[in-house]
Amino acid sequence: MKVQTSILWGVVVTIVGFFACTRTVPQPKKPQAALRDFVEQFKPVVVVKMHLFPAIDIAADTSYPYRGEPITQEQLTLLDDTLRHYFDSGGLWACYQVQDGLIILRTEGQDRHSKLIVARANQDTGKIEHVADVAWYECDEQGCDHQEAWLADLDLDNHLELILRHVQTDKKGQVIADEYAVLTQKGDAHFQPGLEHLLVKDNYKLSM
């Protein structure tokens, strides 16, 4: 009986120890689940027409709609290499999520200026992937380089187009280039030139 009792007690201790261990081992989130949680940090917006524009002084412009929430060091594993570079060089802020899995981020541009980025939440890879830098304002002794953008569904196919307006001025402030571009995609964030015939330039005024 003593031998049997010892064996039985040993089995009980082993079972209790097993369950104690299984309770203390954390279960890592699957990449897709972690990505979904991360994207919830971006404010959801259904876009009809969204103007993406930089702020000259982000600290002073308290009404700027793209201030966003700071992305943290712990979230870096969810970013692709390009976005990690932006995080390291100027920080990243989560702004908005819109149709087609697109998201808007802010980073710091030259001096105190802001730069806006369109990225994509790729559920297959579990990563936020850089799509395009879309809005900035940068100056040096030669002049200024300024771009703003708009998201809109120009052809009513339920996918967003990206309209770009790029302006360059010389050191005297004279405009030396003022160019428009329309980029279209089919829900996969692979923007390509097209639909220029739907561009009405008067509808796209710069913020500054």
Tens digit of each residue's pLDDT, the chain (208 residues): 544 555 444 544 444 444 444 455 555 556 678 888 889 989 999 999 999 999 988 878 889 999 999 999 999 999 999 999 999 988 999 999 999 999 999 998 655 578 999 999 988 888 999 999 999 999 889 999 999 999 999 999 999 999 999 999 999 999 999 999 999 999 999 999 999 999 999 999 999 8
Model-level pTM? 0.81
User: Strands, DSSP E only, in the chain?
Assistant: 43-44, 49-52, 69-70, 92-97, 102-108, 114-122, 127-140, 143-152, 161-170, 175-184, 192-193
Six-digit token pair at 124?
Answer: 């297959």
Q: Which residue has the tokens 């060089």?
A: 89
Domain ranges of the chain: 29-203
CA distance 134 to 200: 19
Cβ proximity of 61 and 148 under 8 Å: no
